[in-house]
Structure 1
Amino acid sequence: MTTSAAPLDLLLLPTWLVPVEPAGVVLKEHGLGIRDGCIAFIGPRAAALKLAAKEVRELPGMLLSPGLINAHGHAAMSLFRGLADDLPLMTWLEKHIWPAEAKWVDEAFVRDGTNLAIAEQIKGGITCFCDMYFFPKVASDCVHNSGMRAQIAMPILDFPIPGASSADEALRQAIELFGDLKHHPRIKIAFGPHAPYTVSDANLEKIRVVAEELDATIHMHVHETAFEVQQAVEQTGERPLARLGRLGLLGPRFQAVHMTQISEDDLALLVESNTSVIHCPESNLKLASGFCPVERLWQAGVNVAVGTDGAASNNDLDLLGETRTAAMLAKAVAGSATALDAHRALRMATLNGARAMGLESQIGSLEVGKAADMVAFDLSGLAQQPIYDPVSQLIYATGRDCVKHLWVAGKPLLDDRQLTRMDEQQLTATAIAWGQRISGHSE
């Protein structure tokens, strides 16, 4: 159906259309129409061709799906990609990443690193990402200029960070940025207490009060490693998630990132509070942090989204590849080949991410009235043949190099693999220059 008789701005005619909602559906030979940045029509090709449209795009051999949502990352850390590989988490952080951040991170670093990450994500089919890094105003400016969609979380720790001298200062900046951008159509500001071991009860309480008042989301690393949980229990007698529950932080606005350690009590807390879990399988694998029991969470009714984490620990921002890893890992952890099938994996990388951010009424699925955030994957290549189930082919046999076109709010940010609003050569040159500076002074 179409919402009015006005001409469509754009009519897309893919071979397959995967709306994600309703679940498990693949529409063949259907069209999707866009008007004023929103989806105005979904229906059979014959009906679509009868509609007036300013532009018609045939997408033969392509699968049109909601844009992928990268539910956790540290965009500017793309400039630290490969700086300190093959190390355990705390060694990686304390001996390498934190010293490098202290030396190099300023507004220019965040601007250049965020732009690099945005371009990489657009080319990989990502229309929306969650970011948690220093100088969030700079990052939000990058998102605004790029045309992409994002949730930007202000990191809050008990000690000074680049751009904020204290937790109170960081919280003040976050409140101010939230106010400045609360009406922005594509940017949502969140609060980002770093982790249970870096933020005190007093500061968590302040964050909870402010987030409740503003109805804002909270994005936090939780239960990333067994060591984190064990240390908390030894020091306080309480698991970190239980502490967050006691302090009143858990709930539908809370995004618990990593969650590789989940006891029965933890699971009950997640279910009861309706907290979302953000799964980052490749970062967890690379840092040997553990395995999030995705199938167990899913069957219990927990909303699980997927994120890449930062390129410093992944080492890419390839959410399609991340989702494939998540599906494979879920089967191994559950001991079941039916765990996290391809259709549910795609849902985890789209609608579940939107739900975690409280944006499921706007993005995450292809439905009339929602924002036209979409990606076209080219499945016509040799490695994708033959095609029995295009969603299985997308998850298990397709790389991000098959991303052909991408739209956010109906505007093309990638056209035939080419960035429309960013200069790829300039971004590459800038990243190389940063690498030379950092490696030349890394000792």
Structure 2
Amino acid sequence: MTEPQAVDLSIEARWIVPVEPHGVVLEGHAVVVDGDRIIDLLPLADARMRYVPRERVELGEHVLMPGLVNAHVHNPMTLMRGLADDLPLMRWLKEHVWPAEARVLGPEFVRDGIELAIAEMIRGGTTCCNENYFFPDVQAATYRRHGFRAMVGLPVIEFPTPWAASPDEYFDKGLAVHDDLRGDALIGTSFAPHAPYTVSDASFERIALLSDQLDLPVHLHLHETADEVADSLRDHGVRPFARIKRLGLVNERLIAVHMTQLTGSEIADCATHGVSVVHNVESNLKLVSGLCPAEALLRAGVNLAIGTDGCASNNDLDLFGEMRTAALVGKIVAGDAAALGAASVLRAATLGSARALGWGDRIGSIEAGKQADLVAVRLDDLETQPIYQVISQLIYVAGRHQVSDVWIAGRRKLAARGLDGLDTADLVARARRWRERIVGA
């Protein structure tokens, strides 16, 4: 008889939702982890015969699922949560956000905002994010220090900021960050041009060339509002999507964020060229930016991801809330109660978001060989009883406060709601000090 294999960890859960295969719920199974990887997913009895774990975690009334992947964030902006609410996008940006950033933006602001965001994300079941902000070197160092998985955007914008003074400097400093992060186990890089209305044709052409040479994603706000489309028609003679297509950016590396204003031909183009679309439903609702045709994108075969956007416009990093809103709004937009079903929304927030980042072979589902980014959700509260369909319960009933345990790359980051390596009292104190600086500046 073969001797049982020694491994680092076995997680036994009442239910396991692997995401791949789609819509499957397993009962009485275990996920076996060695090092940073999942090595097996099998019935509990078989797991106990085949493996001897150094640690066994028994989750009697929990769902074990892949870590959520937030496909669009501006995490330093957690420090601007609630700064300017109930305003349309351009007034919000020009009259409040950009002036506040001009006063306080710097390495310390970025570090403290990201640390606050990491704590919030872990407690909400998010194990990876796609970042779009300034000082990517500080971002990367902060995420790495806390063992959090992140795609760090290399910002490009035409006006000067404390990070860079000119387009050339944005590129030079961004490429230096990319070189420093080559081969990092947790941190990747993308190009992050802000938006068509803040980036020139010359910069977009340079990004297209470098993205192709370096095989880097391009993380771009696109077709966020009707005004953006109208302004592009006035200034460039074409819609923003057509403009960036002409400049060579419509391909499988494009992470198109918002996409609330789409024609049928643009949806078909996204499918044909492998574009990923990030749905940010709550931010879009709050800023009245428009409604992404998420179900139409899925039906066309477009990879759909989910993001929260930044805390200054959402105002949280709660992907459980985002999934529920996406499912409900998606039905109204499609005029179909079956649209954006629970399993499809969960897939978008896990494997769909992972694929958008180019990391679908690494995270987003519970499969042997993938990284052990895992989340346990308690479903024994009276508010989640009775349970008929587990995935529906996760989307329509459960909340982030029911996340009990989180692992990233096999390392436990949350245990029975307790954070590892983050001092919550200190995070709150620093956030309050930043509020005083921003309000008093």
**Alignment correspondent of 1:80:** 80
Alignment correspondent of 2:402: 402
Q: Distance in 1 between matches of 2:7 and 2:79?
A: 41
**Hey, what's the Cα distance between the residues in 2 that align with 1:233 and 1:5?**
66
Q: Which stretch shifts more, 163-172 or 404-413?
A: 163-172
Query: 1:19–1:367: 8 Å Cα contact kept in structure 2?
Result: yes
What residue in structure 1 maps to residue 61 of structure 2? 61
Q: Is there any run of 5+ residues in structure 1 with no aligned partner, and where?
A: none
SS of 1:163 mapped into structure 2: coil
Q: Which moved more, 1:18-27 or 1:166-175?
A: 166-175
Aligned length: 439
Contact 1:79 1:435 in 2 (8 A): yes
Q: Distance in 2 between matches of 1:34 and 1:100?
A: 45
Q: Which residue is 2:89 aligned to?
A: 89
Local SS of the residue matching 1:349: helix
Q: Residues 76-107 of structure 1, C-alpha deviation per residue, up to 9 Å, x if partnerless?
A: 00101000110000000001100000111111
> 2:370 and 2:200 mapped to 1: Cα distance?
39
Tell me the equivalent position of 1:440. Answer: 440
Task: Determine helix, strand or coil for the equivalent of 2:129.
Answer: strand
Distance in structure 1 (CA, Å) of the matches to 2:373 and 2:422: 18
1:245, 1:269 within 8 Å by CA — same for their partners in 2? no
Query: Which consecutive aligned stretches of 4+ in structure 1 deviate over 3 angstroms post-superposition?
Result: none
Give the SS at the match of 2:332.
Answer: helix
Secondary structure of 1:209's match? helix
- With the length of structure 1 as denominator, give the TM-score of the two structures: 0.98
CA distance in 2, matches of 1:153, 1:264: 29
Partner of 2:17: 18
| 2:385 paired residue number | 385
Number of the residue aligned with 2:26: 27
- Measured after TM superposition, the shift of residue 141 of structure 1 is 0.6
Partner in structure 1 of residue 261 of structure 2: 261
Distance in 2 separating the partners of 1:191 and 1:162: 18
Using the TM superposition, give the Cα deviation of residue 236 of structure 1 relative to its aligned residue in structure 2, in angstroms: 2.1
Paired with 1:352 and 1:182, the residues of 2 have a C-alpha distance of 24
Q: Which amino acid aligns with 2:411?
A: K
Equivalent residue runs for 1:30-429 within 5 Å: 30-50=29-49, 51-429=51-429
Output the CA distance in 2 between the equivalents of 1:289 and 1:183. 38
Tell me the alpha carbon deviations over residues 192-219 of structure 1, each in whole angstroms, 9 at most, x when there is no partner: 0100011111110111111111100100
Instruction: Give the distance between the partners of 1:231 and 1:163, measured in 2 at CA.
Output: 27
Q: Distance in 2 between matches of 1:261 and 1:204?
A: 21
Q: Distance in 2 between matches of 1:18 and 1:244?
A: 38
- Provide the C-alpha distance between the structure 2 equivalents of 1:14 and 1:211, rounded to a whole number of angstroms: 41
* Partners of 1:178 and 1:286 in 2: CA distance: 34
1:125-175 CA deviation, whole Å, 9 max, x = no partner?
Answer: 000001101111101111001111000102201111221111111111111
Q: In the aligned structure 2, how far is the partner of 1:17 from the partner of 1:421?
A: 27
Hey, what's the Cα distance between the residues in 1 that align with 2:207 and 2:155? 11
The alpha-carbon deviation at position 271 of structure 1 amounts to 1.4
> Once the 2 structures are TM-superposed, how far is the Cα of residue 415 of structure 1 from its aligned partner?
0.8
Q: Which amino acid aligns with 1:435?
A: R
Unaligned runs of 5+ in 2: none
C-alpha distance in 2 between matches for 1:25 and 1:418: 29
Query: For the residues of structure 1 that align with 2:38 and 2:141, how far apart are their CA atoms?
Result: 26
SS at match of 1:102: helix
Q: Following TM superposition, by how much is the alpha carbon of 1:5 offset from its aligned partner in structure 2, in angstroms?
A: 5.6
Give secondary structure in 2 for the equivalent of 1:377.
Answer: strand
TM-score, scaled to structure 2: 0.98
Post-superposition Cα deviations, 1:28-68, rounded to whole Å, max 9, x if no partner, equal 01011100110011111111112211111100110000000
In structure 2, distance between residues paired with 1:85 and 1:418: 31
**Could you list the per-position Cα deviations for residues 98-124 of structure 1 after superposition, in whole angstroms to 9, with x for gaps in the alignment?**
000011111111110111111110110
Partner Cα separation in structure 1 for residue 235 and residue 74 of structure 2: 29
Aligned equivalents of 1:168 and 1:191: distance in 2? 14
Q: Quick one: distance in 2 between partners of 1:259 and 1:195?
A: 12
1:82–1:315 contact (8 Å) kept in structure 2: yes
Cα RMSD (Å): 1.1
Moved more, 265-274 or 358-367: 265-274
Task: Work out the CA distance in 2 between the residues paired with 1:78 and 1:167.
Answer: 27
Q: 1:5–1:248: structure 2 CA closer, same or farther, 3 Å change rule?
A: farther
Following superposition, the deviation at residue 8 of structure 1 comes to: 1.4
